């Protein structure tokens, strides 16, 4: 497994190193020892799957605040996504910056998303499935988020946005989220 840096000091693109033969390949997607060597969270308590029927579906932008901040490993197991993270760490020089990654069932890449980052994605194919490993349980009282089209963030989604939940559509701006974080 290779850890490729992103523009953020704590987020990593994880690339598999497949051992291939006439059957296909075998590869490690996660390893406690390798994560410890990188100084990353290595204890995950939950694994979730997100199935998305339609291309152009957007989910996000979501994260949890203390005392239940969470890190995630996200991998697209079927189809393709444009996976986005936004730095929400108040003391970070990259606060409010975003980066996007193309994850799909051809490249088998995963994204390590540290605590303090919002996450969202857009499906680039119908019937897309995304697998999440989480190091913290979901706590509704700690759940936060902001609008996926926030103008201050300016995420450049690659496809027209066709499907969004009502909850995500009603999300407020990043500035309100920041004000909440500063009070928290």
Spans of all domains in the chain:
2-183
Q: How would DSSP label each residue in 52-67?
A: E-STTEEEEEEEE-TT
| pLDDT value at residue 143 | 96
Any catalytic annotation for residue 112?
no
Q: Which two tokens stand for residue 31?
A: 């390893």
Fold (CATH) for 2-183: Jelly Rolls (2.60.120)
Model confidence at 44, pLDDT cuts 50, 70, 90, reads very high
* Cα 72 → chain centroid: 7
The reply to whether 62 belongs to the active site is yes
- What residue spans of the chain are helical by DSSP H? 32-37, 166-169, 174-183
Task: List Cβ neighbours of 67 (8 Å cut-off, separation of 6 or more).
Answer: 142
Residue 13 CA neighbour count, 13 Å, CB half: 16
Residue of 62, 112, 147, 148 marked catalytic: 62
Kindly state the average pLDDT of the residues 1-22.
96
Q: What is the CA radius of gyration of the chain?
A: 16
Average the pLDDT over 141-146 and give the result.
96
Residue 43 confidence class, pLDDT cut points 50, 70, 90: very high
What is the average pLDDT across 117-145?
Answer: 98
Task: Please identify which residue in the block is written with the tokens 């152009």.
Answer: 56
For residue 29, the number of C-alpha atoms closer than 13 Å in the C-beta half-sphere is 15
The pLDDT value recorded for residue 183 is 84
Kindly report, residue by residue over 70-118, the tens digit of the pLDDT. Answer: 999 999 999 999 999 999 999 999 999 999 999 999 999 999 999 999 9
Average pLDDT, whole number, for the chain? 96
Rounded Cα–Cα distance for residues 113 and 106 (Å): 21
Asked if residues 107 and 83 have their Cβ atoms less than 8 Å apart, the reply is: no
Whether residue 175 has pLDDT greater than 80: yes
Report the pLDDT value the prediction gives residue 82, as an integer from 0 to 100: 99
* Whole-prediction pTM: 0.95
Q: Is the pLDDT of residue 184 over 80?
A: no
More confident residue, 6 or 181: 6
Q: 119, 132, 148, 184: which one is catalytic?
A: 132
Res. 38 pLDDT band, cuts 50 70 90:
very high
């Amino acid at each position: 497994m290779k850890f490729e840096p992103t523009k953020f000091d704590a987020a990593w693109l994880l690339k598999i190193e497949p051992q291939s033969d006439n059957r296909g390949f075998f590869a490690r997607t996660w390893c406690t020892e390798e994560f410890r060597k990188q100084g990353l969270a290595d204890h995950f308590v939950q694994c979730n799957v997100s199935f998305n029927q339609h291309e152009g579906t957007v989910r996000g932008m979501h994260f949890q605040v203390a005392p239940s901040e969470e890190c995630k490993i996200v991998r697209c197991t079927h189809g393709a996504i444009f996976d986005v993270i936004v730095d929400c760490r108040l003391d970070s020089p990259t606060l409010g910056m975003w980066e996007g990654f193309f994850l799909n069932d051809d490249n088998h890449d995963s994204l390590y998303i540290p605590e303090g980052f919002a996450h969202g994605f857009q499906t680039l194919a119908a019937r897309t499935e995304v697998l999440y490993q989480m190091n913290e349980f979901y706590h509704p009282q700690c759940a936060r988020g902001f609008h996926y089209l926030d103008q201050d963030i300016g995420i450049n989604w690659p496809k027209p946005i066709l499907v969004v939940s009502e909850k995500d559509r009603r999300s407020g701006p990043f500035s309100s989220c920041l004000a909440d974080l500063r009070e928290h």
